[in-house]
């Protein structure tokens, strides 16, 4: 299959409406979309990215009012989060409306919904005139793509269309919050910080990721975010004789004698998050044997960043 590259959101939306797979930019990472109500098209998402069928997809909407097309009802905590964070990098898990095909939600009776904070994505989604099911636009288990070039690396020839734009502003995926019962819980740390969520919903449970997370969010146990190169989380950059084969990303600058082949020194945790997945891919392309990633405080975006670093380190150990 030939993948059409375009800057035109209306051309991309026409393709999606006719049952095709369309990759599109968002503020978190690029997504791989299909009409959420078209079972065949959604099935092809799983094939294109070689994703296990037990990992549910996030449904993207162009307007908060569209949430009711995919959710049976909207519990109070979800209403608060939607009002405060849509559009934005937050996915809320809600009771699923009957009309949503079960392939979208991997058989769960819940559905994750998000409205991206990205002008081109919103123009595209609005023109689609249907909710769009979309996982990150990478091959399953690979780092999420934060540029259209990274989407091409993984999916060129496997999808019908790629709506091109610049780099994703956040660089890490959305925060996922389960709002299906009386005590909402965090399922995936992400670009909306836990501190912000707790301001909005003080009763939010942070622990379910470890306890019920696997049951509520089957995707969490799949290997994730991993480059083809070994990742090690380090306290600080350090010099060893073999660093010529290594890459380093972090906040502290290595001394010139540390001798890393490739380095990226970030000014802030936000910049670290913005660059991480892109750096993984650059390090792969440079042929390094190992990537040292500096540990950060689990605060603000640091929590999501540490989650991705630890998953990458354990998937490549
Ligand atoms: O930022 C993002 O969320 C990006 C962009 C494209 O929107 N999408 C993304 O999708 O990261 P994906 O499929 O790579 O990750 C979705 C996560 C998975 O961990 C999945 O298990 C969880 O959300 N999820 C989806 N639907 C769920 C549901 N009904 N209940 C619990 N977890 C769900
Ligand atoms: Mg993903």
pLDDT in tens, the chain (317 residues): 899 999 999 999 999 999 999 999 999 999 999 999 999 999 999 999 999 999 999 999 999 999 999 999 999 999 999 999 999 999 999 999 999 999 999 999 999 999 999 999 999 999 999 999 999 999 998 999 999 999 999 999 999 999 999 999 999 999 999 999 878 999 999 999 999 999 999 999 997 655 444 555 666 556 666 788 999 999 999 877 677 889 999 999 998 778 899 999 999 999 999 999 999 999 999 999 999 999 999 999 999 999 999 999 998 77
112 Cβ below 6 A of ligand 1 = yes
Structure tokens at 121: 């994505």
Give the ligand with the smallest distance to the CA of 91.
1
pLDDT at 39 (0 to 100): 98
- In the reported structure, the alpha carbon of residue 304 is separated from the centroid of ligand 2 by a whole-number distance in angstroms of 14
Distance 277 CA to ligand 2 centre (A): 12
Q: Is the CB of 26 under 6 A from ligand 1?
A: yes
Whether the CB of 130 sits within 6 Å of ligand 1:
no
Q: Pick from 36, 56, 139 the residue to mutate for probing ligand 1's pocket: most ligand atoms within 8 Å of its CB.
A: 56
Task: Report the separation in Å between the CA atom of 51 and the middle of ligand 1, taken as the mean of its atom positions.
Answer: 12
The b/e string for 15-24 (b: 16+ C-beta within 10 A; e otherwise) is: bbeeebbbbb
Cβ of 28 less than 6 Å from ligand 1: yes
- pLDDT of 258: 81
With helix as H, strand as E and coil as C, how does the chain read?
A: CCCEEECCHHHHHHHHHCCCCEEECCCCCCEEEEECCCHHHHHHHHHHHCCCCCCCCEEECCCHHHHHHCECCCCHHHHHHHHHHCCCCEEEEEEECCCCCCCCCCCCCEEEEECCCCHHHHHHHHHHCCCEECCECCCCCCCCCCCHHHHHHHHCCCCCEEECCCCCCCCCCCEEEECCCCCCEEEECCCCCHHHHHHHCCCCECHHHCCCHHHHCHHHHCCCCCCCCEEEEECCCCCCCCHHHEEEEECCCCCHHHCCCEEEECCCHHHHHHHHHHHHHHHHHHCCCEEEEECCCCCCHHHHHHHHHHHHHHHCC
From the CA of 227, how far away is ligand 2's center (Å)? Answer: 13
Overall residue count recorded for the chain in this entry: 317
pLDDT of 220 reads 58
Residue nearest to atom 31 of ligand 1 (CA): 217
For residue 155, what pLDDT is reported?
98
Residue of the nearest CA to atom 24 in ligand 1? 56
Q: How confident is the model over 224-263, as pLDDT tens digits?
A: 667 889 999 999 998 776 778 899 999 999 987 788 999 9
State which ligand 1 atom lies nearest to the alpha carbon of 190: 1
pLDDT of residue 148: 98
Q: Which residue's CA is minimally distant from atom 19 of ligand 1?
A: 219
Task: Round to whole Å and give the CA distance between 49 and 196.
Answer: 32
pLDDT at 167: 98
Which of 219, 223, 301 has most ligand 1 atoms within 8 Å of CB, for mutation? Answer: 219
Q: What's the 5 CA to ligand 1 centre distance in angstroms?
A: 25
The overall average pLDDT reported for the chain is 93
The protein residue with its alpha carbon nearest to ligand 1, atom 30, reads 217
Ligand 1 contact via 29 beta carbon (within 6 Å): yes
């Amino acid at each position: 299959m030939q993948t059409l590259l375009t800057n035109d959101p209306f051309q991309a939306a026409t393709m999606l409406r006719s049952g095709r797979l369309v990759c599109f930019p968002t503020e978190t990472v690029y997504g791989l979309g299909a009409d959420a109500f078209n079972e065949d098209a959604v099935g092809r998402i799983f094939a294109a990215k070689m994703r296990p069928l037990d990992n549910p997809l996030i449904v993207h909407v162009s307007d908060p009012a569209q949430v009711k097309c995919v959710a049976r009802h909207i519990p109070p905590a979800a209403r608060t989060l939607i009002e405060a964070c849509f559009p934005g990098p937050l996915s809320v898990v809600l009771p699923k409306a009957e009309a949503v095909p079960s392939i979208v939600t991997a058989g769960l009776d819940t559905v994750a919904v998000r409205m991206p904070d990205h002008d081109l994505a919103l123009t595209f989604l609005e023109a689609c005139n249907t909710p769009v099911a979309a996982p990150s636009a990478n091959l399953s288990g690979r780092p999420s793509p934060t540029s259209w070039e990274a989407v091409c690396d993984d999916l060129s020839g496997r999808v019908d269309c790629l709506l091109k734009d610049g780099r994703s502003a956040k660089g890490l995926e959305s925060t996922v919050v389960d709002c299906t019962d009386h005590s909402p819980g965090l399922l995936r740390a992400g670009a909306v910080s836990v501190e912000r969520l707790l301001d909005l919903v003080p009763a939010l449970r942070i622990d379910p990721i470890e306890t019920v997370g696997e049951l509520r969010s089957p995707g969490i146990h799949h290997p994730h975010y991993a480059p083809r190169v070994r990742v090690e989380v380090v306290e600080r950059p350090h010099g060893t004789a073999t660093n010529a084969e290594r890459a380093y990303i972090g906040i502290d600058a290595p001394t010139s004698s540390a001798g890393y082949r490739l380095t990226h020194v970030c000014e802030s945790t936000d910049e670290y998050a913005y660059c991480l997945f892109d750096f993984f891919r650059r390090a792969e392309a440079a042929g390094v044997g190992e990537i040292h990633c500096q540990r950060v405080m689990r605060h603000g975006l640091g929590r999501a960043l540490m989650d991705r670093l630890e998953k990458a380190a354990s998937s490549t150990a």
